[in-house]
Amino acid sequence: SAVISQKPSRDICQRGTSLTIQCQVDSQVTMMFWYRQQPGQSLTLIATANQGSEATYESGFVIDKFPISRPNLTFSTLTVSNMSPEDSSIYLCSVEWRGDGELFFGEGSRLTVL
């Protein structure tokens, strides 16, 4: 399976600041996604990170709040901008590696916004 490294693994942030999460995969993958998991909740898809073009965002998520970069087939970043306490969540990078729909997940980045 693909090895997915995310950093930071956790951070405590101040209201109004922005934080960028990095996702590095040890092999080239076509499909890469960013999910959010709020406390006690399931996973909600934020966006599909497209290599070389703008990310595709799900309803309720916008580029100004969650800008995403995907410069190549092994790396992506998600920025959480102008954070508020409601952004306190685990953010998960995931990849579809084998083309069969199965997603592999990074260890997640746990953000706490004060």
Partner 1 sequence: QKEVEQNSGPLSVPEGAIASLNCTYSDRGSQSFFWYRQYSGKSPELIMFIYSNGDKEDGRFTAQLNKASQYVSLLIRDSQPSDSATYLCAVNQAGTALIFGKGTTLSVSS
For residue 43, the minimal CB distance to partner 1 (Å) is 4
- Two tokens, residue 54: 């703008």
Maximal C-alpha separation, the chain: 40
Q: Does 97 bind partner 1 (CB under 8 A)?
A: no
Do residues 89 and 106 touch, judged by C-beta distance below 8 A? no
For residue 14, the minimal CB distance to partner 1 (Å) is 24
Between strands 89-96 and 31-37, the pairing is antiparallel
- Two tokens, residue 83: 């954070």
For residue 9, the minimal CB distance to partner 1 (Å) is 11
Instruction: Tell me which of 33, 66, 91, 97 binds partner 1, using CB under 8 A.
Output: 33
Residues that bind partner 1 (CB under 8 A): 31, 33, 35, 41-45, 48, 59, 92, 100-108
